[in-house]
Amino acid sequence: MRVVETTAAQLGGIDILVNNDGAPPLGDLAGFDDAAWAKAVEQNLMYVVRMTRAVVPHMQARRGGGVLNITAISAIQPIPGFGLSVATWSGVIGFAKTLSLEVARDNINVNTICPGYIETQRLEKVFAAGGEDPAIVRRKLEAEVPMGRIGSVEDIAAIAALLVSPRGRYITGTAIQVDGGLLRGIR
């Protein structure tokens, strides 16, 4: 994979991989055809598989590293209308958990962050998706979150920095929600 080889050559190796891509369209599962499913699997799951497969040998050669996947809270708490994301990102979590077991002895940690409502362009699409006034949707979503606010990109960056740093090296195989308490299940 050219991007991986170029990065390794220019920087002398690869220590960290963060897999963070966009999300498939919103809608009812029954309305998506095979092409939409194939695109979602390609974008969310196979992208992670390919990037990780290309990077892990570089990390093994350096005797360590960190792989971090960023999905969404819907991967562990399904939300109607987010089915393409739920299915494919749940696959990413399964992939990451299995990989974490296979590369732990190489001092490579593998984790997944599952953000809740975070100030992004994607969330703006969610606000507008139902035909309701986006400001009303925002207030409803904020009310769902025990912390009473939409998360920030900085909230995600803080946990990402920990998980790929030496301080986070003993954390592996996890799917961590960063959601202000939105996920209420006990797992």
Nearest partner of 66 among 74, 76, 79, 56, judged by Cα: 56
Q: Does the reported pTM lie above 0.75?
A: yes
pLDDT tens by residue, 113-170: 999 999 988 777 777 777 788 788 889 989 999 999 999 999 999 999 999 999 999 9
Q: Is residue 61 part of a domain?
A: yes
Q: Domain holding 59: CATH number? A: 3.40.50.720
Could you tell me what percentage of the chain is helix, strand and coil, using 3-state DSSP and rounding each to the nearest 5? 55, 15, 30
- 137: which residues sit within 8 A by CB, 6+ positions away? 126, 127, 128, 130
Q: What is the pLDDT of residue 169?
A: 93
Residues in the chain: 187
Q: Is the pLDDT of residue 1 over 90?
A: no
Phi/psi of residue 59, nearest 5 degrees: -70, -40
Quick one: what percent of the chain has pLDDT higher than 70? 99
Instruction: Count the Cβ atoms, other than its own, within 10 Å of residue 144.
Output: 14
- Please report whether residue 72 resides in a domain: yes
pLDDT given for residue 124 in this prediction: 79
| Number of compact structural domains in the chain | 1
Residue 42 belongs to a domain = yes
pLDDT at 5 over 80: yes
Report the C-alpha gap between 99 and 153 in whole angstroms.
Answer: 27
φ and ψ at residue 115, rounded to 5 degrees: -65, 145
Dist. CA 24–CA 83, nearest whole Å? 9
In a domain, 185, yes or no: no
Pairing relation of β-strands 175-178 and 16-19? unpaired
pLDDT at residue 130, as a whole number = 72
pLDDT of res. 134: 79
* pLDDT-derived band at 25, boundaries 50, 70, 90: confident
* First and final C-alpha spacing in the chain: 37
Give the range of the structural domain holding residue 6, as residue numbers without chain letter.
2-116+151-178
Residue 121 forms part of a structural domain? no
Whether residue 26 is predicted with pLDDT greater than 90 in this model: the reply is no
Does a structural domain hold residue 169?
yes
Task: Give pLDDT tens digits for 45-93.
Answer: 999 999 999 999 999 999 999 999 999 999 999 988 889 999 999 999 9
CB atoms within 10 A of CB 166: 9
Q: Which of 56, 52, 44, 53 is nearest to 20 (CA)?
A: 44
Residue-level pLDDT at 132: 82
**C-beta separation of 78 from 86 below 8 A:** yes
Identify the band that residue 40 occupies on the pLDDT scale cut at 50, 70 and 90: very high
Asked whether residue 79 is assigned to any structural domain, the reply reads yes
Task: Determine, yes or no, domain membership for 90.
Answer: yes
